[in-house]
Structure 1
């Protein structure tokens, strides 16, 4: 199996490739790429390079897959390089304490990189400061963010702060 290198010096191999007719004089080539760590992803691109496509179709097995890929290699370089880069970047996990206003959505109060610090801050908020709107109380919520986007709580994180699994981490007034 041949090893390919992106313009960003990232190595990968081709696991499989195929093509389907995509209009007069065009073929859509689909390739299955494998990263050095073993992750796999499909990429595709349409070509009108019929002379090279015809030559690739005369081959068999891995040689054919690689020949098909080489027809569209330059067109896919950026996409493959971006995917390989994303595989190497660790997600950034952070935590945000926010005020959920029943009538007006959420407002960030403070952000943290450490769960225990975030939970301590959250736990010390005074719920008596919360307002009631039409019989419903506003609430404080501790949320987890992955790369800046809201994410579900991890079971281990909930266990770390002593919170029940499959629940939101919220505090509010008890209304009757």
Structure 2
């Protein structure tokens, strides 16, 4: 019965409002504790929301793998771990440096902030806030990393002069040039990504 309900919701593009609720626990990342941006939101979701999320994740993963997940999209993919991303970047730097090229890398955080309290309320004393989400995916949800990958994947399709490596919500623009004056391409690419 539950599977039929969820499939029907996908068919009519409906995600029930009652399932969009989560208990969000702000976890301190470091820095001043009175600065709201120094907290990472972790969402405790309803079981029904998790079931929706698992089915949506399976569909999204299938779609991404069969419709152009960027070849250098690392993170939460089989054999494409953080270590693989670091090794790929180290290889790029090493190979180009050995060829007497100038190497530059621009590191970008291109994720989105999912810690918006829709009603503007502050954290209650327990450190938890019930949040009603109208759009987006709560951090900590099953779809969190895949949502970021779909958000960032198209950046890899831009006509950049350098190459790009993606790790979920982060990116590295990589350049290897024969002379430092050619690094103006990096500035042009940054303007392209920013738009």
Relative to its length, the structure with more strand (as a share) is: 1
Higher relative contact order (CA 8 A, sep 6+): 2
The structure with more radius of gyration: 1
Q: TM-score, normalised by structure 1?
A: 0.24
Q: TM-score, normalised by structure 2?
A: 0.23
